[in-house]
A = this chain, B = another copy of it.
């Protein structure tokens, strides 16, 4: 069974569980705007004209598509019914939906999860136009719960790919730590990591110009920004944020290194204290993670450990799901801030893979951010990464 067939079957099980009659993915010219769920339903290929991919809780797998794309879709061996058209999808789409007569039609629109939000506003209006004067125009609901479950509950094949991406990322980190010398720029270090990724034949978990992030010392801008020409100096904390994509699945790992000053054999106490605080926040959060807990209840644990230790609150969520993209959407280990919508209130489920990534700045030294990747199992959260438990020391 292909991964696409496996995920489509999983989608039908989710429709049964959530008691939704029909899930309709409605797209066009996906080279322009691509609905993220297409990766699961048809793979990496594009659809050109208005296309409807329909799945029902009865197990129907139907595509209504341009005639010129029937062959390509047929080859996937996913759809039991392929209806082609030349000039307008309107009639075959309306006929198909009328025949199936669903009580709810879930469509890909979501305020909370961008990965469940592939339907553009104009396509929403076009769909309503196709269905006008039918009862179905009033039966549209959000497919967010379906897509959250489908993306979140990783099959064993998906988990194995994330693990492999993590394994490769680890190796790249180890080689990089051996490579770093005082006087190198962040850009040089980033370029070396790119070279290693090429040797492992992987791409990046987010756009290459900010993957990795490399922050050497206290003045390097931390955030979604690329390496700068700041040079590594003795007494710098170097912070990394890096991930690769292996067969469509991502890793996302932060690591920290300290460059010893002359005479030092370990990091200064304030650096060690910062490291232990972050490490503790991760471990305590992981221990609390289990199916049924809300993401917010986990975020609170880490956030309090950081602030109770006297550090400022980090202005981002503790962790996000990891999958086909680094920020995979759905349940979020996050604070209840407007920008995160309802995602922090969602409950954790078995099979979800999360990052845990608190951080803090140590004045005069640099940034400490650690990021571990974990999977939710029946027994709680298990590490996919080998956690960083000590600061990596580099001789100056």
Q: Chain B's nearest CB lies how many Å from the CB of A340?
A: 9
State the CA gap A338–B99 with chains docked (Å): 23
State the CA gap A72–B227 with chains docked (Å): 10
The reply to whether B68 and A339 contact each other, CB–CB distance below 8 Å, is: no
State the CA gap A50–B28 with chains docked (Å): 24
Report how many residues on chain A are interfacial, defined by Cβ distance under 8 Å.
Answer: 61
- Say how many copies of this protein the assembly contains: 2
A182 within 8 A of B: no
The reply to whether B33 and A114 contact each other, CB–CB distance below 8 Å, is: yes
What are the interface flags for A298-321 relative to B under an 8 Å C-beta threshold, 1 for contact and 0 otherwise? 000000000000000001100000
The reply to whether A339 and B88 contact each other, CB–CB distance below 8 Å, is: yes
Query: Quick check: which of A13-21, A322-330, A373-381 contacts chain B, the rest being far away?
Result: A322-330
A117 within 8 A of B: yes
Q: Chain B's nearest CB lies how many Å from the CB of A7?
A: 17
The reply to whether B338 and A88 contact each other, CB–CB distance below 8 Å, is: yes
A46 within 8 A of B: yes
| Closest residue on chain B to residue A49 by CB atoms | B339
> Which A residues between 18 and 69 are near B, CB-CB below 8 angstroms?
28-29, 31-36, 44-46, 48-50, 66-69
A177 within 8 A of B: no
The reply to whether B86 and A109 contact each other, CB–CB distance below 8 Å, is: no
Selected contact of A337 from candidates B34, B46, B88, B225, CB within 8 Å:
B88
The reply to whether B224 and A48 contact each other, CB–CB distance below 8 Å, is: yes
A90 within 8 A of B: yes
With a cutoff of 8 Å between Cβ atoms, the chain B residues found around residue A49 in the complex are: 339
The reply to whether B46 and A226 contact each other, CB–CB distance below 8 Å, is: no
Highest count of chain B CB atoms <10 Å: which of A120, A123, A225: A120
State the CA gap A88–B207 with chains docked (Å): 24
What are the interface flags for A203-226 relative to B under an 8 Å C-beta threshold, 1 for contact and 0 otherwise? 000110110000000000111111
The reply to whether B69 and A225 contact each other, CB–CB distance below 8 Å, is: yes
The reply to whether B316 and A68 contact each other, CB–CB distance below 8 Å, is: yes
The reply to whether A339 and B89 contact each other, CB–CB distance below 8 Å, is: yes
Selected contact of A67 from candidates B31, B68, B111, B315, CB within 8 Å:
B315
| Closest residue on chain B to residue A325 by CB atoms | B31
State the CA gap A315–B49 with chains docked (Å): 12
Given contacts A68-B315, A72-B224, A86-B315, contact A210 B45 (CB under 8 A): yes
The reply to whether A36 and B45 contact each other, CB–CB distance below 8 Å, is: no
Interface pairs (16), CB distance under 8 Å: A31-B207, A31-B325, A31-B327, A32-B114, A32-B115, A33-B35, A33-B114, A46-B224, A49-B339, A69-B223, A72-B224, A114-B120, A117-B121, A119-B121, A120-B121, A121-B123
With A87-B337, A118-B120 known, 4 other A-B pairs at CB within 8 A are A66-B339, A87-B339, A109-B122, A117-B121
